[in-house]
């Protein structure tokens, strides 16, 4: 996956996590799952940049 695509996915996931956090507790399964997905995307991006 290209860097620009990853950046788009990171931004989409970040927005999703913020939206979820407005309607769910920060420790809810939905928010944690979204956060883990965001972490994976960021790690993948950082591995490509190095």
In this predicted model, what pLDDT tens digit does every residue of 9-41 receive, in sequence order? Answer: 999 999 999 999 999 999 999 999 999 999 999
Residues whose CB is less than 8 angstroms from the CB of residue 6 and which lie 6 or more positions away in sequence, other chains included: 41, 44, 45, 48
Query: What pLDDT was estimated at residue 10?
Result: 98
Query: What pLDDT was estimated at residue 11?
Result: 98
pTM > 0.95: yes or no: no
Phi then psi for 3, rounded to 5 degrees? -60, -40
49 within domain boundaries: yes
30 within domain boundaries: yes
Question: How many Cα neighbours within 13 Å face the side chain of 41?
Answer: 19
17 within domain boundaries: no
Range of the domain at 30: 1-10+25-50
Do residues 41 and 6 make contact, with C-beta atoms less than 8 angstroms apart? yes
3 within domain boundaries: yes
What total of structural domains would you count in the chain?
Answer: 1
The DSSP letter of residue 38 is H
Provide mean pLDDT across the span 46-50: 91
Could you give the angle at the alpha carbon of 45 between the alpha carbons of 20 and 24, nearest 5°? Answer: 10
16 within domain boundaries: no
């Amino acid at each position: 996956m290209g860097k620009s695509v990853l950046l788009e996915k990171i931004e989409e996931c970040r927005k999703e996590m913020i939206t979820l956090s407005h309607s769910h507790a920060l420790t809810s399964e939905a928010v944690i799952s979204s956060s883990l997905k965001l972490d994976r995307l960021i790690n993948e991006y950082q591995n490509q940049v190095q």
